[in-house]
Chains A and B, each alone.
Chain A
Amino acid sequence: MMMLQDHLIILPILLPLATGAFLLFVDDRHRPLKAGISFASTLALLVVAALLVHRAGLVGPVDGELTATYPLGNWPVPFGIVLVGDRLAALMVLLTAVLGMCTLVFAIARWHAVAPSFHSLLHFLLMGLCGAFLTGDLFNLFVFFEVLLAASYGLLLHGSGSARARAGLHYIAVNLATSSLFLIGAALIYGTTGTLNMADIAAKITNVPEADRGLLEAGAAILGVAFLTKSAMWPLGFWLTGAYAAASAPVAAVFAIMTKVGVYALLRLSLLFFGDAAGVSAGFGQLVLLYGGMGTIAYGAVSALAAQTTARLSGSLVLVSSGTLLAAIGLGNEGVVGGALFYLISSTLAISAMFLLVELVERVRMEGADILAVTMEAYGDDEEDEAVQEIGTVIPGAMAVLGISFAVCALVLSGLPPLSGFLAKFAMISPMLNPEGLATQNVVSPQAWWLASLLIISGFAALVALVRTGINTFWATLEEAPADVQVIEIVPVVTLLALCIVMAVMAGPILGYMDAAAQALYTPAGYINDVLGAPLAGSVAAP
């Protein structure tokens, strides 16, 4: 079993690749077989990801080797591509696998029958996501970004239709232009540092001659713009709500993690390249992240309040989540980043559940429930007449489960106690207001005050918007028998929300893991040493 242990880190890439490629050759007449293979592969991915997290969590932040490395093709490290499985990467792979699993189960109920290539595309998307999280090479990151984007183009169009095709066109155009920026940024960084390995770049960034520093920072800024567009920072994120609202429910649910890829790349690269050790360039671009993130939170909150459909509301909540993470990274405090990682997981799970719920709810509820009250009055809605008629309608079982799930979703997304959303916000705001630790006298920066208040206000806005939708949906009188909601469609939603509850119950160990991950991010020397000193397979360790 030693063999498998050593190759564990490449499995999250190989497994979806092999499954996706194989499923292309299985005819759609054998749909149950396809779904079975797809399910088994995703289950295996889940197990592998859990093992990775377990292994990454085992090594302490002080003793010996921090990160698992895997030089592809056994090339020595700065020259070949290396996969790196540290705490953060393993955690993101696990999140990807969980979302992939829930999406898959939900899609098996009906969506996967719409077009023959759904399973393949989903697996290619998972491959791209896992690869982007695990790779330690800048250009390889680009390649995995393209893999996941290509799969996402196909998935966004899944189900076809005019609205999807139009949203898909915008989405693809934006992402192709962004990919050009990515390449320009990566090329500039290569041109100034002479390497593409992330750890090697970080090690060489202090040696960049003064004349080239402007070029290097321009490259980093262009690369940053590419990532910020993918993570939908205001004003680069206008593509998001339209695309997510047009996507079919399971696709939107797995897209919930796509903006987090940009956030992940920013978090990793900004701390690696421009951490405290970077000399003159230390902290480059941090203020942009902070203010951009705050702008995104504000825009997302307003857009949530103004949303006319539940799908757009969910899209706005993705923006809020993205903005919160970017601003938390921009604040540049280790504790805040630890809380932000907790928030990342919690909000992604909840938003994913929300996207699935939206579809189920829309099958059941009456027309116009998601339209703003003002708009409804403008169109002459007479509430008084309806209210009297249907007293005594039994709330059907499906409706009750959906309602409870929606309430849990709202609690997590708006950050109310006792669920994980509250803990996440608490874990971010507490170190914001006590940047030096609880024991010492703290000077709180005005930015921290602004960010803390924005976080709370955005939570309130999300609460108002969600409660409005909930009241209009679940307390409305039902005109006809509710549409059938299958058990395997409810299960993923309940699972995602149950994970949020588990996160609240097990907050101690999970936050410990996140804090250790944040600490590792803020001490990039460990990462750099581990990656550059990655042992090759078959080489005998020096005695």
Chain B
Amino acid sequence: MELILAIGIGVLTTCGVWLLLRPRTFQVIVGLSLLSYAVNLFIFGMGRLRINAAPVVNGGTVDPLSYTDPVPQALVLTAIVIGFAMTALFLVVMLAVRGFTGTDHVDGKER
């Protein structure tokens, strides 16, 4: 499972960085989205991978070993929400630039 997650993060990051460096705004926005997926998985991985363990602790004295770390999951949730909002905002600006310049090149003009 570690291997699959690591490969997944790696592939997403590679694609994200590649697309981010492309000259079309649409490619940039897809690249940023892929990058943020990779980052979300990475944060999740930083809480250590556990199978069949609940993140919510019942009251009383508990053995922390039988629970998974809830903090990274909360962080991922926040990061997803913020990333989603930012992507939407970027999309609006992208459309505005397209309207202003008539091209989807990131510099606003074909070279």
Q: Which residues of A contact B (CB under 8 A)?
A: 139, 143, 146, 150, 153, 157, 160-162, 165-166, 168-170, 172-173, 176-177, 179-180, 183-184, 186-188, 190-191, 196
Q: What is the CB-to-nearest-CB distance from B42 to chain A, in angstroms, rounded to a whole number?
A: 6
CB pair B39–A169 under 8 Å, yes or no, is no
CB pair A139–B78 under 8 Å, yes or no, is yes
| Cα-based distance from A139 to B46 in the complex (angstroms) | 14
For the A-B complex with A166-B108, A190-B71, A190-B75 known, give 5 more contacts whose Cβ atoms are closer than 8 Å: A168-B93, A169-B93, A170-B106, A173-B20, A184-B43
Within 8 A of A (CB), among B43-75: 43, 46-48, 71-72, 75
CB pair B86–A146 under 8 Å, yes or no, is yes
**Is B96 an interface position by the 8 A CB rule?**
yes
CB pair A169–B82 under 8 Å, yes or no, is no
| Cα-based distance from A365 to B103 in the complex (angstroms) | 34
- Cβ contacts A to B, 28 pairs, < 8 Å: A139-B75, A139-B78, A157-B93, A160-B96, A161-B100, A162-B108, A165-B96, A165-B108, A166-B101, A166-B108, A169-B90, A169-B97, A169-B106, A169-B108, A172-B86, A172-B93, A173-B32, A173-B90, A173-B106, A176-B87, A180-B35, A180-B39, A184-B42, A187-B72, A187-B75, A190-B47, A190-B75, A191-B48
Q: Which residue of A lies closest to B95 (CB)?
A: A165
Q: What is the CB-to-nearest-CB distance from B19 to chain A, in angstroms, rounded to a whole number?
A: 11
Q: Which residue of A lies closest to B32 (CB)?
A: A176
Q: Which residue of B lies closest to A175 (CB)?
A: B86
| Cα-based distance from A153 to B93 in the complex (angstroms) | 9
| Cα-based distance from A160 to B96 in the complex (angstroms) | 9
CB pair A188–B46 under 8 Å, yes or no, is yes
**Is B79 an interface position by the 8 A CB rule?**
yes
Which residues of A sit under 8 angstroms from B20, Cβ to Cβ? 173, 177
| Cα-based distance from A471 to B75 in the complex (angstroms) | 54
Q: Which of B42, B93, B96, B108 has the most CB of A within 10 A?
A: B93
CB pair A187–B43 under 8 Å, yes or no, is yes
Which residues of B sit under 8 angstroms from A196, Cβ to Cβ? 71
| Cα-based distance from A207 to B5 in the complex (angstroms) | 28
CB pair A179–B108 under 8 Å, yes or no, is no
Q: What is the CB-to-nearest-CB distance from A352 to chain B, in angstroms, rounded to a whole number?
A: 25
Q: Which residue of B lies closest to A162 (CB)?
A: B100
| Cα-based distance from A172 to B39 in the complex (angstroms) | 18
CB pair A179–B86 under 8 Å, yes or no, is yes
CB pair B75–A162 under 8 Å, yes or no, is no
**Is B15 an interface position by the 8 A CB rule?**
no
| Cα-based distance from A65 to B107 in the complex (angstroms) | 53
| Cα-based distance from A177 to B72 in the complex (angstroms) | 20
Which residues of B sit under 8 angstroms from A176, Cβ to Cβ? 32, 36, 86-87, 90
Which residues of B sit under 8 angstroms from A139, Cβ to Cβ? 75, 78
Known contacts A172-B90, A188-B46, A166 near B107 by CB under 8 Å: yes
Which residues of B sit under 8 angstroms from A187, Cβ to Cβ? 39, 42-43, 46, 72, 75
Which residues of B sit under 8 angstroms from A160, Cβ to Cβ? 96
Which residues of B sit under 8 angstroms from A188, Cβ to Cβ? 46
| Cα-based distance from A188 to B42 in the complex (angstroms) | 9
Q: Which residue of B lies closest to A192 (CB)?
A: B46
Which residues of A sit under 8 angstroms from B101, Cβ to Cβ? 162, 165-166
0/1 interface trace, chain B 8-46, chain A, CB 8 Å (1 if under): 000000000000100001001000100110110011001
Which residues of B sit under 8 angstroms from A173, Cβ to Cβ? 20, 28, 32, 90, 106
Contact residue among B39, B90, B93 (Cβ-Cβ distance under 8 Å from A184): B39
Known contacts A143-B78, A165-B93, A173-B20, A183 near B106 by CB under 8 Å: no
**Is B3 an interface position by the 8 A CB rule?**
no
Q: What is the CB-to-nearest-CB distance from A117 to chain B, in angstroms, rounded to a whole number?
A: 13
| Cα-based distance from A56 to B100 in the complex (angstroms) | 49
Q: Which residue of B lies closest to A168 (CB)?
A: B93
Q: What is the CB-to-nearest-CB distance from A16 to chain B, in angstroms, rounded to a whole number?
A: 19
Which residues of B sit under 8 angstroms from A161, Cβ to Cβ? 100
Q: Which residue of B lies closest to A154 (CB)?
A: B89
Known contacts A169-B94, A172-B90, A183 near B108 by CB under 8 Å: no
Q: What is the CB-to-nearest-CB distance from A238 to chain B, in angstroms, rounded to a whole number?
A: 13
Q: Which residue of B lies closest to A153 (CB)?
A: B89
Q: Which residue of A lies closest to B82 (CB)?
A: A146
Known contacts A176-B32, A177-B35, A165 near B97 by CB under 8 Å: yes
Q: What is the CB-to-nearest-CB distance from B7 to chain A, in angstroms, rounded to a whole number?
A: 17
| Cα-based distance from A488 to B75 in the complex (angstroms) | 45
Known contacts A139-B75, A180-B36, A183-B39, A190 near B46 by CB under 8 Å: yes
**Is B6 an interface position by the 8 A CB rule?**
no
